[in-house]
Structure 1
Amino acid sequence: MKIDNTIEMIETLPMTRALRTALVMSIPILMIGSFSLILKSLPIPAYQRFLEIFFGGALRDILDIAHRATFGIFSLYMVLAVSRNYSQDNSSDPLMFYGAPIASLISFVILCGFFSGRPSIAALGVNGMFTALLCAVCIPPAYLCFVKRFGGRRRIYTKGADYIFNLAIGSLLPLFLTVLFVSSLNYIIVQSFGVSGLYELLVKGGQHIFSGRERSLKSAVLFLVSSGVMWFFGIHGNNVLDSVIKTVFYPGIEVNHSMLAVGLVPSEILTKTFFDTFVYMGGCGGAISLLAAVLIFSKRPSSRNLAKLAFLPMLFNVNEIMLIGLPVVLNPIFLIPFILTPITSCLISYAAFYFELLPVTVNAVEWTTPVLYGGYASTGSMAGVLLQLVNMIVGVFIYRPFILFSDKEQELISNKQMNALVRLLQEQEVKRSPVMLTELYGTMGAVAKELAEDLDYALFSHELMLYYQPQFDDKRRCIGAEALLRWNHRRFGFIYPPLIIKLAEEKGFLSELEENIIIRAAKDLPLVQNALGSEISVSVNVSGLTIETDAFEQFLKKAALSGKINAGKINLEVTEQMALSSDPRTEERLRRICALGFHLEIDDFSMGHTSVKFLQSGIFGTVKLDGAIIKDILHNQRSREIIASIMGLSRSLGFKVIAEYVENEAIMEALEEIGCRAYQGYLFSPPLPLDRLPESVKK
């Protein structure tokens, strides 16, 4: 339980959310860089010769530019993306959104030592990602403190200047103080350790661990642990420890060549090729095993889709897409297997070579050599391929429990986040206090924004579904059905339907969504009638906001006249929770819609928004009672009296009444006593997908 709470706490931190979003945003950059690197480095002699002679090496240069423009300055992208996400999700102050990314970028440049006289261009790429992430997650809060302390009324505004100019001037003091603070910190580092900045301090610190060490199994394990820990913190361990590889392990191949030249049997096991081929299969952390474990065991669509994207690059040992996209970086769940898997592969491989089950590596193999082929190329033996397979399988089972645990944790966290958002919406519905979900800050705001974007895509890609809940009379004969929107989100599962409507309303595509539902219901109508009865009609919910627009009226007119919609069998349920104007123009509009053949219904009647005037006019032919009073009918006499009053109105004014949320026989009997004869609810049938509708009439 403590582990679960700790992971949930980490996942819900503002910095973690900002980082996760930025890492996902970086996937296109990583893919471009990965494929550019693969195309540039394919270890095929004929292909490499082609790159050299094709237009004088122009293609190689183009691929190299693409790689440098992505991987080569990847840390710059991360600084800007993470700081931007943090600012957007955690503050409404425009100075924060404007100044925090700038402050983070300047701080990153300072801490990388670019003004010390010996800057390292490598710091801009994946090597400098830890420094980049440190700046991106620490500088925005510091900048925000300066904004709060020196902002407000003390901001400098220039009369007559535009908004952006005033924003720039207002950020001047907080930005200056942030840069001054970081410059002072870096100066202390430079003077104390004799380095150019924080980045060089981290690199030299990693290399110092191996100072004076010899090539041994103990050094190999230490190297793997150090590299894995660095990767966890966003530092490209292998690149930082490149000098260690060159001085400690790379000479092993040369020793083997020398022994072979004088007729001796090569005996050096620990070589750079040993690590590239048998330990770092798919990249650092034995990532090919992680890839396979995700594809085999993970139930999360997002993880599986990421693994599919990363599959080809990882065959060539380029694993940044998986490590950053999953992510492994700063993810405590994967720290143990990420270190344990390469150590296990190292020990298994070392034992195999030590007991002479296969010849030691004598051929230097490019690190981009595809998995499995590399085992043969490095040893000249199929036993090398078999050893790679063994290591991969062992790694898969090391990663397996952590994949399953990660899935479980992400599901729990997602459910809590979604439940919190739904509770907030339900409270807003009860209190009648409107709230803009996508403008909230913190976790709920981030979830609402994610859902809104996904909903827009789901509408475009036809991922939304319609379920149908049949309606019955007191003789248990099916008299109609209501089309109900359902959305099975890849991360959150089935989404609370009112939340879907709310998000569509906030993002401005509610009318488009409701038109889409009507078209889908009209298309399904013959199949629904085939399942429930040839004479039944289908009801579709429409908000008061939508039905009052000219565009929606024109949509209905065009669809009805063209025969795209059988207007006589499509009922439009106007949800009473959304206010409907009672002015003459609205009444005339509703009459024109009725003239097209549509039957109008009031949904959730008794909530208090819709005027009784519409019932007097006869525009609405059906009233659906609000579920709240139906559920309360057995225990609240006032609810019975309200329903009885509505039934009295229905008899005098000539409209039909349908009771929703009829969950049991007792509720149905109470409604019958009052005079209600049409029902909808779980007593008869839950909402069902189209292919299961016949089940509802076979009971």
Structure 2
Amino acid sequence: MGFVNFLEEKLMPIMGKIAANKYIKSIRDGLAIVMPLIMVGSLFMILVNMPISGWNDFINRVFGSNFLNWLSYPIRVSFDIVALVAAFAIASQIAKENRVDALTAGVLSVVAYLLLIPVVTVNETLKDGSTLNLGRVLPTINLSASGLIVAILTSIIVTEIFTYIYRKNWTIKMPDSVPPGILRSFEAIIPAFIIITLFLIIRVIFELTSYGTVFAFISKFVGQPFSKIGLSFGGMVVTILSYQLFWTLGIHGTRVVLNVLDTILLPAMQENAAAFMAHQPIPHIITRQFYDNFVNIGGCGSTIGLLIAIFFFTKSKQLRSLGKIAFVPSIFNISEPIIFGLPVVLNPIMMIPFILSNTAVGIVTYISMALGLVSKPVGIAVPWTVPVFASGFLATGGDWRAIVLQVINILASFLIWLPFIVAYDKEKIKEEEKKEVVETV
């Protein structure tokens, strides 16, 4: 009981404050807006790279040699604007938290972010050997997931500056008779001027340094160290322990932890996708699909193994009823019925296998991919709700060994959950027998 009291009185308030932090919430909700783009792009990536022998030859014969190239266009426009969309979406979410105009904040964030991107001149060599100047363009690498950290920082800075100016009433005042749309546009003039001027100064300062751009600076001092930690074996273990601990306190751990880590998980996924499209070795093991499609099978806690244990090794009416209720959601990797119904939340006995099972599955998956026994995630954004086996097969670009790995993961989860749920079942049977005796009397 002392441990539970410690969780309730000391740890839970801290975790609750972290989860409720406006920046964490805004990053989480803003990146959620980006995910549909990535998923749609991933669907086209599957069509272009179907794991079927002779697929490309068949498509070229039926639809022509340009068809697969045409299908690749949506991949570019979805993956290549992730940071740009995030700059708008996150700023809008922060603005809502600050109770200021979300649309204006989003637009100013996009403008400020674009101002930081260096413009490059692009030339194309024609067939006759001459060079055609295509003009000055923005490099897509800064618009894609590679620029997420800068996009997030920009959205926070821009929105807080905009909020400060708005609350100080440093705006152009118009009569009440002016339509709301025109009123907002005039109110945004002074904040826009201040924000654009500030980011222009930032841009010029970095151009005068050896880094050249803020992107290079952030990449060296923030992005690279963060990626080395977050995409490492140790970082993976800490990540799983963190979001599992959140869950045991009744807080949606994956939203809090993984959505923040998307700043490194999405760029890693994009790099894997680029390598996959170019038929090059896949660079990263840890991506969002590593967690969604291999670690959290059946939901957080790898609860599909728990359900198997419940169906075959328990006799308690309560547990078996819970198993029937939780079965269908678990197929789609939704574990809330188990987490809150068992319960796992603030339950010292069930917290142990809940944390251990996911950690063990993560370790098994990482080692399997590191040794080349199973293909790494290829950058296809398989939704977390895709059922087990299909999810692993798709996430690895059609590697049948991924299905075997998922079977092993389920078995590992089952073995960890089994002794705990059997002991818990005995307690529940005793409680039910006592209840029946009382009701009979």
TM superposition score category, shorter chain reference: 0.5 to 0.7
Structure 1 Cα separation of the partners of residues 148 and 330 of structure 2: 21
What is aligned with 1:170?
Answer: 187
CA contact (8 A) 2:109 2:155 kept: yes
User: 1:164-563 counterparts in 2 under 5 A?
Assistant: 164-198=181-215, 200-205=216-221, 223-224=232-233, 232=261, 234-235=263-264, 236-238=266-268, 272=281, 283-285=289-291, 287-294=293-300, 296=304, 308=332, 342-347=362-367, 371=392, 386=404, 389-391=407-409, 394=412
> Secondary structure of 2:199's partner?
helix
Give the structure-1-normalised TM-score: 0.37
Pairwise CA distance, 1:306: 11
Larger RCO of the pair (alpha carbons < 8 Å, separation 6+): 2
CA contact (8 A) 1:221 1:343 kept: no
CA contact (8 A) 1:374 1:385 kept: no
Structure 2 Cα separation of the partners of residues 397 and 165 of structure 1: 64
Pairwise CA distance, 1:134: 2.5
For the pair 1:140 / 2:140, whether they are aligned, the reply is: no
What is aligned with 1:87?
Answer: 95
Give the structure-2-normalised TM-score: 0.55
Pairwise CA distance, 1:25: 4.0
Q: What is the total number of aligned residue pairs between the two structures?
A: 322
Rate the CA distance shift 1:232–1:193 in 2: closer, same or farther, 3 A.
farther
Rate the CA distance shift 1:222–1:390 in 2: closer, same or farther, 3 A.
same
Pairwise CA distance, 1:177: 0.8
For the pair 1:44 / 2:52, whether they are aligned, the reply is: yes
Pairwise CA distance, 1:280: 5.5
What is aligned with 2:337?
Answer: none
CA contact (8 A) 1:100 1:143 kept: yes
Rate the CA distance shift 1:223–1:64 in 2: closer, same or farther, 3 A.
same
What whole-Å deviation, never above 9, does each CA across 1:224-263 have from its counterpart, x for those lacking one? 5579989715133525877xx99xxx99xxxxxxxxxxxx
Structure 2 Cα separation of the partners of residues 101 and 376 of structure 1: 36
- Structure having the higher Rg: 1
Which structure 1 residue ranges, 5 or more long, are not aligned? Answer: 211-218, 252-271, 311-333, 354-359, 401-699
Structure 1 Cα separation of the partners of residues 115 and 191 of structure 2: 17
For the pair 1:66 / 2:71, whether they are aligned, the reply is: no
CA contact (8 A) 1:114 1:120 kept: yes
Match 1:4 to one of 3, 8, 12: 12
Rate the CA distance shift 1:220–1:340 in 2: closer, same or farther, 3 A.
farther
Structure 2 Cα separation of the partners of residues 123 and 337 of structure 1: 38
Corresponding letter in the other structure for 2:84: L
Rate the CA distance shift 1:309–1:109 in 2: closer, same or farther, 3 A.
farther
Structure 1 Cα separation of the partners of residues 51 and 197 of structure 2: 48
What is aligned with 1:495?
Answer: none
Structure 1 Cα separation of the partners of residues 75 and 297 of structure 2: 23
Structure 1 Cα separation of the partners of residues 331 and 18 of structure 2: 24
For the pair 1:97 / 2:99, whether they are aligned, the reply is: no
CA contact (8 A) 1:110 1:186 kept: yes
What is aligned with 2:150?
Answer: 131
Pairwise CA distance, 1:127: 2.8
Rate the CA distance shift 1:182–1:6 in 2: closer, same or farther, 3 A.
farther
Pairwise CA distance, 1:143: 1.2
Corresponding letter in the other structure for 2:195: T
CA contact (8 A) 2:112 2:199 kept: yes
CA contact (8 A) 1:157 1:166 kept: yes
Match 1:21 to one of 29, 33, 48: 29
Pairwise CA distance, 1:35: 1.7
CA contact (8 A) 2:232 2:286 kept: no
Rate the CA distance shift 1:18–1:232 in 2: closer, same or farther, 3 A.
closer
Structure 2 Cα separation of the partners of residues 145 and 376 of structure 1: 48
- Structure with bigger strand share is 1
Of stretches 125-134 and 98-107 in structure 1, the one that deviates more from structure 2 is: 125-134
Structure 2 Cα separation of the partners of residues 134 and 343 of structure 1: 32
Which structure 2 residue ranges, 5 or more long, are not aligned? Answer: 1-6, 122-135, 240-257, 308-321, 335-353, 381-389, 418-441
Rate the CA distance shift 1:285–1:24 in 2: closer, same or farther, 3 A.
closer
What is aligned with 1:520?
Answer: none
Rate the CA distance shift 1:15–1:97 in 2: closer, same or farther, 3 A.
same
CA contact (8 A) 1:111 1:186 kept: yes
Rate the CA distance shift 1:75–1:384 in 2: closer, same or farther, 3 A.
closer
Structure 1 Cα separation of the partners of residues 214 and 47 of structure 2: 35
Structure 1 Cα separation of the partners of residues 401 and 377 of structure 2: 16
Structure 1 Cα separation of the partners of residues 357 and 217 of structure 2: 28
What is aligned with 1:555?
Answer: none
CA contact (8 A) 2:48 2:71 kept: yes
Structure 1 Cα separation of the partners of residues 153 and 359 of structure 2: 22
Pairwise CA distance, 1:144: 0.9
Structure 2 Cα separation of the partners of residues 165 and 222 of structure 1: 47
Corresponding letter in the other structure for 2:146: N
CA contact (8 A) 1:282 1:288 kept: no
Structure 2 Cα separation of the partners of residues 25 and 208 of structure 1: 25
Pairwise CA distance, 1:107: 2.0
What whole-Å deviation, never above 9, does each CA across 1:47-83 have from its counterpart, x for those lacking one? 2223334432454244322223323312222222222
CA contact (8 A) 1:206 1:240 kept: no
What is aligned with 1:324?
Answer: none
Rate the CA distance shift 1:165–1:377 in 2: closer, same or farther, 3 A.
closer
